[in-house]
Amino acid sequence: MTGRAMLDDFFTRALVAGIGFAVVAGPLGCFIIWRRMAYFGDTIAHSALLGVAFALLLEIDVIAGVFVMSVVIAMALLVLQRLGTLSSDTILGILSHSALALGIVIISLMTWVRVDLKAYLLGDILTVSRADIAVIYAGGAVVLALLAAIWRPLLAATASFDLARTEGMHPERVRLVFMLLIAAVIAITMKVMGILLITALLIIPAATARRFCSSPEQMALWSAAVGAAAVGLGLFGSLRFDTPSGPSIVAGAMLIFIVSLVLSLAVSRVAARTFNSRG
């Protein structure tokens, strides 16, 4: 009896934390796919492990360490892009894998601390505490408020950097803020999803929502809803089949994506046929 109550409790905490993450990831993820920054998200997530390593080495707060390292990697990206010899894709490939590998190397060298590498890589949503939830919700609220504040200039810069600039929208400034927001979200929610899979919940719900939306704001809201549904589906699956929670949530997101894809293809085929029969 008591065991079941405890189970309910950690499950509820996981659900609350996961939904909090999904609601923040939805709108942010829309901008990531609109701006074709999926690989950037991955790179920042991978660099989080290097941040963990430094935080443990310097004995500072892990979230702060991850955030600072993400910012350093994002700045390195901007500097290397400015040099203009390698493509962004290649630069991201170098930064992403170097950061991940270096993070693992440093952590394995620190024999004096016991680190659960698997928990950082794949996440451990079932162990989130009340304090973790508070961090996710407070941090998430700040991220969403800042995103709302830069919404118009960021959207304009996403459509066209040059147009935004000639019309006084300061696209470089909002891009920088946006990068910081991604770094912040990854630092705050790393514990939920893990470094390897965190960008999945930024990208898959947004891509799923696209087919059913006609405005950017609508898509942001639907992405949040799809993400929350994926968290619920994944966690129940994880409980039912005793599978790891993070990957189960991503599998849930994938399932929703596939169903929506098949549905929308069927709908458009029916529509085409209707038009055909009308001549």
Q: Between 215 and 277, whose beta carbon lies closer to another protein? A: 215
Choose one: 18-26, 67-75, 95-103, 161-169; the region binding another protein (CB under 8 A): 161-169
Choose one: 48-56, 90-98, 152-160, 240-248; the region binding another protein (CB under 8 A): 152-160
Minimum distance of another protein from residue 33's CB (angstroms): 5
Helix axes 130-149, 2-34, angle to 10 degrees: 20
Name, in order, each residue with C-beta under 8 angstroms of 35's C-beta and a sequence gap of 6 or more: 158
User: 3-class secondary structure for 67-90?
Assistant: HHHHHHHHHHHHHHHHHCCCCHHH
Minimum distance of another protein from residue 80's CB (angstroms): 16
Q: How far apart (Å, rounded) are the C-alpha atoms in residues 150 and 113?
A: 41
Q: Between 82 and 114, whose beta carbon lies closer to another protein? A: 82
Indicate the SS3 state at residue 244: coil
Minimum distance of another protein from residue 85's CB (angstroms): 9
The reply on whether position 155 binds another protein by CB under 8 A is: yes
Instruction: Give, as ranges, the residues between 79 and 98 that touch another protein (CB under 8 A).
Output: 84
Q: Which two tokens stand for residue 124?
A: 């451990």
Contact pick of 15, 16, 80, 165 for another protein (by CB under 8 A) = 165
- Burial zone of 109 (CB within 10 Å; 0-12 exposed, 13-18 middle, 19+ buried): exposed
Phi/psi at 238 (5° precision):
-60, -40
Contact pick of 36, 118, 130, 173 for another protein (by CB under 8 A) = 36
Choose one: 157-165, 231-239, 246-254, 258-266; the region binding another protein (CB under 8 A): 157-165
Minimum distance of another protein from residue 156's CB (angstroms): 4
Give the residue from 253, 200, 197 showing the smallest Cα distance to 225.
Answer: 253
Instruction: Give, as ranges, the residues between 168 and 227 that touch another protein (CB under 8 A).
Output: 168-169, 206-207, 210, 213-216, 218-219
Q: Between 216 and 232, whose beta carbon lies closer to another protein? A: 216
- Burial zone of 176 (CB within 10 Å; 0-12 exposed, 13-18 middle, 19+ buried): middle
Instruction: Give, as ranges, the residues between 3 and 32 that touch another protein (CB under 8 A).
Output: 30
Task: Supply the DSSP symbol for 59.
Answer: T
CA 55 to chain centre: 21
Contact pick of 111, 166, 274, 277 for another protein (by CB under 8 A) = 166
Minimum distance of another protein from residue 161's CB (angstroms): 8
CA 16 to chain centre: 17
Choose one: 106-114, 149-157, 175-183, 255-263; the region binding another protein (CB under 8 A): 149-157
H-helix or E-strand spanning residue 35: none
Minimum distance of another protein from residue 277's CB (angstroms): 23
Using an 8 Å Cβ cutoff, are 136 and 192 in contact? yes
Binding residues vs another protein (CB under 8 A): 30, 33-36, 84, 152-153, 155-156, 158-160, 162-169, 206-207, 210, 213-216, 218-219
